[in-house]
Amino acid sequence: MTTDFGGLLRIILPGASDLDRLLPRLRHERWMGWTGWTELPSRALFTSPVANGIPRVGVVEETHKRLRCVAHRAERSRLETAGYNTVRGELSRRVASGDIDAGTAGLVVKWAEMAQAMERELNFTIDFTRHLAANLKSGPGMVTITSHELSGLRNAIREEAIRQLMQIKGKKRGEALERMLDLQPDNASKGDLFKHYGREVMKAKKVDGKPLYRMSDLDKPETFGGTGLKNRRTPDDVVTIEDVGAIKEDVEEVLPPGHYMMEYKAGEEAFKIDQAEDYAKRSYGAGTKDGGFRTTPQSKTNAYDGLIYVFSTKKDADDAYKLMRDNKLTKGILDKHPGGIHIVYVNESGEIRPR
């Protein structure tokens, strides 16, 4: 059975009989998994007896405008599905012609499915076909996608999604962020998404029209090395908290102005205590006026005033805090300034808050 979405777009409903005619079509779309129309606020469900083993369920709509909105969503869903099928077909042709290998096609399809899921579940608009054309440029004989091309595709999708996420307000943004993180195809992509979301949140924060957090793509994190570390460590990001005044309940209420390195942790398994231990070994004079972090034991100057861990949930932040509080290397510098480790998290509204 195929639903006539084009016909839906042309429906005009003068009376109840036409509503009865539309309901089985809406019911069919729900049965097939399309749920965009349920996003309409405060719409009651209409139910009628079971037909062919499937309950007839639809949305009671009293205006033509809302019914056209329902029909538009249905048509958009159909066109999106057709678009992603076209992507799969194009990739199959490239594999058959030797332009790319099956592994490359599999990687790209993974991102197409993620973009499609964000459109379907979050009502985002992700122009995947355009991003694919702009980034997958390997010609004949180039059978494997380059890391640069894949990175470009991933970055383009991420930037477009975060831009739309930042337009959402309140708890709905926090819910959307959580779902976006769940949809990421791997842990590295989840961490990358969370990092760039955190950057956008901080960039948007202003006090009396002045930026509270200063961040620059040119300010690259310094690597920590030397003897005694389990691994060389490079922070995820760098931020400078400006001296522009305190805001109640925000991060700067806990953290004084200064130059900080940052680590972003999204997911229960993201935080590892050995990383915090290595950073703790490079903390000198924590809590004193000359305290800070130095990249090697031989360094004479401080590279950072502190380390900020940003967690995607309060529970993860609390769990990490307990681990560091009970650890002999980290407990002595926890919450100290300068030269200490500080923990913040993203709350239910998608805002960064101190633990």
Task: Identify whether residues 56 and 152 lie together within a single domain.
Answer: no
Q: Is the pLDDT of residue 346 over 50?
A: yes
Q: Are residues 62 and 83 in the same domain?
A: no
Do 219 and 344 belong together in one domain?
yes
- Whether the Cβ atoms of residue 308 and residue 255 lie closer than 8 Å to each other: yes
Q: Assess if residue 214 is contained within a domain.
A: yes
Q: Please check whether residue 190 lies inside any domain of the structure.
A: no
Q: For 24-33, 121-130, 213-222, which range has the lowest pLDDT when averaged over its residues?
A: 24-33
Q: Let me know if residue 153 belongs to a domain.
A: yes
Split into its structural domains, the chain has a count of 3
Residues 267 and 329 placed together within one structural domain of the fold: yes
Residue 109 shares a structural domain with residue 141: yes
Residue 194 in any domain: the answer is no
| Integer Cα distance of 210 and 203 in angstroms | 10
Instruction: Look up the pTM and report it.
Output: 0.73
349 and 233 share a domain? yes
Is 90 exceeded by the pLDDT of residue 174?
yes
Residue-range definition of the domain harbouring residue 145: 76-181
Residue 201 placed within a domain: no
Same domain for 222 and 318: yes
222 and 328 part of one domain: yes
If asked whether residues 227 and 346 sit together in one domain, one would say yes
Instruction: Over range 241-245, report the average pLDDT.
Output: 76
Residues 146 and 283 in one domain: no
> How many angstroms separate the Cα of 327 from the Cα of each of 71, 250, 254?
58, 27, 22
Contacts of 22 (CB under 8 A, 6+ apart): 8, 11, 13, 58, 67
Mean pLDDT of the chain: 77
> Is residue 217 located within the same domain as residue 312?
yes
List for the chain the helix, strand, coil content (%; round to 5): 45, 15, 40
* pLDDT tens track for 38-51: 333 344 433 334 33
pLDDT of residue 138: 58
Judgement on whether residues 120 and 211 belong to the same structural domain of the protein: no
